[in-house]
Amino acid sequence: MKLWLRVIYQLLSWKRRSSLQIHEVAIRRFRVWPTDLDIYNHMNNGVFLTILDLGRYDHGKRTGIWKKWKKIGWYPVVVAENITFRRSLELWQTFDLESKVIGWTEDAFYFEQRFVVKGEIYARAVVRIRFLKRSRGIVTPEDILSVTPWTGPVPKLPEWVSAWSKASSLPKGKEPAPSEWN
């Protein structure tokens, strides 16, 4: 329920938000609600991941790419996330979520997203995203960039992100992935 309230608020406020180029940082302000808290009275780590979704959606709406992709029948899915927490977010505290595409490979895009309070990073996440077709199949970054041109300098994906992505990957959906503990 709490996610839907935030989504409705975002839907109502997008018309007042400035548009962005795909290479720019999208910044969206949030506040910690009572329903975001865990038993330790700070924002639950699962809520961080939920808010990351809203930040990427904000980036897509403000750049206009969501509209294009929806028309074509493409949609993004999260393949992997890595988040590091530095400081807690407390009840009613406001924070900015900064979202930026930091690069891509032959099969995925990568976002860096930061939870920022008064210029200080409280948490940082890297998210690997692939695109699928509603009609079945995978959309490559090359396909995406053919309809959504990159307008800024082409970013070089940090080596640690490439290493993390490789180390955390699971077999593709139809390949076996047995649960075996060593």
pLDDT tens readout for residues 9-65: 777 776 777 889 889 999 999 999 999 999 999 999 999 999 999 999 999 989 888
Q: How far apart are CA 61 and CA 58, in angstroms?
A: 5
Strands (E), 42-93: 74-85
- Residue 139 carries which DSSP code? E
Tokens 């927490």, residue located? 85
Burial of 80 (0-12, 13-18, 19+ CB in 10 A): middle
Q: Which helix (H) or strand (E) holds 102?
A: strand 94-104
Question: pLDDT at position 152, please?
Answer: 81
Cα torsion 18, 58, 98, 146: sign: negative
Please give the share of the chain, as a percent, with pLDDT higher than 90: 70
Per-residue pLDDT, 151: 83
**pLDDT (tens digit per residue) in 140-161:** 999 988 888 788 888 999 999 9
Structural domains in the chain plus CATH codes = 20-150 (3.10.129.10)
